[in-house]
Amino acid sequence: MTTHRPSRRAVLAGLAAAGTMPRLAVAQSKPEVGTIVLAPQFGLAYTPLHVMKAEKLIEKHLARAGLPNNKVEWLKTTGGAAANDALLSGSMHVVSGGIGPLLTIWDKTRGNANVRGIGCFDATSLYLNTVNPAVKSIKDFTDKDRIALPAVKVSIQAVTLQMACEAAFGPGQHGKLDHLTVSMAHPDATAAMLSGRSEITAHFSSPPFQFQQIETGKAHKVIGSFEVLGGPVTFNSAYTTAKFRDENPRSYKAVFDALVEAHDFIQKRRADAVKIYIEEEQSKLAVEFINRMVESPELRHTIVPLNTIKYANFMNKVGSLRNKPETWKDYYFPDVHGVAGS
């Protein structure tokens, strides 16, 4: 499959054109939040966040913005729901998660908190793998199979499976395999599926788990999200509230500029980025294996939203979103609007 890769220069030029926020003309003396609190998550897709933390990129841009004494705090959460609750309460300022959770919280907060995306971390194909040799396509699953995924019906893997079902079985058949799905964390699902002693015969996963499963020789890929969406698709993004952006324009811009720089760092210093990922996550994976994943055309780090509107339109059609966006720019802040997103 051929994928379009906008040049780094084109991406940065677009961001420069779009990133001029009128709100940033606020007087420099206006107080801003003293500590920016961020909620990272874990996985290879989140490498831009790890680079931002390890290289102190937000601190660097805060200093450039005249806020040299402001702090950055990275806090762990118990999951996306907890992070979203913290974001809405104001105890966290920037959180991270999949395009599904971003669309959901954008939909729920329209007219109040007005949560929107800051920028993306990656375009990653999520694999539906199985150890059942009889399953070559999603039409081959039977009631004897069980498909593990992060959260039944609501995770982006679950939404992708529903989109695949509608394509395979026809309009209105998006829930065709929902009764086979089981909510399970990626490590547990991987162990269960590969054990051969569990009811779990398939797993809709993410890196590194999906690649590790195939490496064992026990599992094979049935379908990936790139095939379902018809091209590269965003997996994860950073997002925040309009209130934080409006009241802290220099702090917000420092986060955005740090994210842009982190992507530039990953492209120019791939080996250093992999080292940072290993150190931040205390990964036991071999460097060679991580490099193969990072160099795969189905896992690339980019700030550009890709094919997200297809998820939004589908989720609105099946009732998961009340509001139908006209464009991807409805649920991402203007700073990233200069890129060729979708």
Q: Give the pLDDT band (50/70/90) at residue 30.
A: confident
Q: 3-state DSSP helix/strand/coil percent for the chain, to nearest 5?
A: 45, 15, 40
Q: Give the CATH H-level superfamily of domain 8-23+30-123+233-336.
A: Periplasmic binding protein-like II (3.40.190.10)
pLDDT of 192 > 70? The answer is: yes
Find out whether 239 and 118 touch, Cβ atoms under 8 Å.
yes
- Please, what's the b/e burial string for 46-78 (b: 16 or more CB within 10 A of its CB; e: otherwise)? bbbbbbbbbbebbbbbbeebebeebebeeeebe
Tokens describing residue 147: 């498909």
Q: What is the pLDDT, as a whole number, of residue 13? A: 53
- Per DSSP, 1 falls in state -
pLDDT of residue 3: 43
pLDDT in tens, 195-224: 989 999 999 999 999 999 999 999 999 999
Residue written as token pair 């460097």: 287
What local confidence, expressed as pLDDT, does residue 153 receive?
A: 87
Residue 83: which pLDDT band, with cuts at 50, 70 and 90? confident
Sign of the dihedral through C-alpha 327, 19, 22, 31: positive
Indicate the pLDDT class of residue 11, thresholds 50, 70 and 90.
low
- pLDDT of residue 248 exceeding 70, the answer is yes
* Cβ partners under 8 Å of residue 265, min gap 6: 51, 55, 57, 272, 273
Among the listed residues 54, 17, 21, 47, the one whose alpha carbon sits nearest the alpha carbon of residue 246:
21
Q: What is the pLDDT of residue 26?
A: 41
Q: Is 39 helix (H, G, I), strand (E, B) or coil?
A: strand
* Buried b / exposed e along 217-226 (16+ C-beta atoms within 10 A): eebeebbbbb
Domain boundaries, the chain: 8-23+30-123+233-336, 127-229
266-294 residues labelled b (16+ CB within 10 A) or e (exposed)? beeeeeebbebbbebbebebeeeebeebb
Q: What residues contact 227, with CB distance under 8 A and at least 6 apart?
A: 125
Q: Are 70 and 248 in contact (CB under 8 A)?
A: no
Over residues 142-162, the pLDDT tens digits come to 999 999 999 898 889 999 999
Longest pairwise C-alpha distance within the chain = 66
Residue 20 pLDDT class (50, 70, 90 cuts): very low
Q: Residue 35 contacts by C-beta under 8 Å, 6 or more apart in sequence?
A: 70, 71, 72, 73
What is the pLDDT at residue 138?
96
Torsion of CA 106, 86, 34, 97, to 10 degrees: -50
Crossing angle for the helix pair 47-54 and 270-281, nearest 10 degrees? Answer: 90
* Same fold: 8-23+30-123+233-336 with 127-229: yes
Helical H segments across the chain, by residue range: 8-18, 47-54, 57-64, 80-89, 99-109, 156-169, 186-195, 209-215, 225-229, 242-247, 249-268, 270-281, 287-294, 308-317
User: Sorting pLDDT into bands at 50, 70 and 90, what band is 41?
Assistant: confident
For the stretch 283-330, pLDDT in tens is: 999 999 999 998 899 999 999 999 999 999 999 999 999 999 999 999
Tell me: pLDDT of 22 over 60: no
pLDDT higher than threshold 90 for residue 183 = yes
Mean pLDDT across the stretch 38-49?
91
The CATH H-level superfamily of 127-229 is Periplasmic binding protein-like II (3.40.190.10)
Rounded alpha-carbon distances, angstroms, from residue 295 to 3, 152, 270, 274, 289? 13, 31, 9, 11, 10
Single-letter amino acid code for the residue at 223: I
Backbone angles phi and psi of 285, in degrees to 5: -70, 150
Residue 27 in this model has a pLDDT that exceeds 50: no
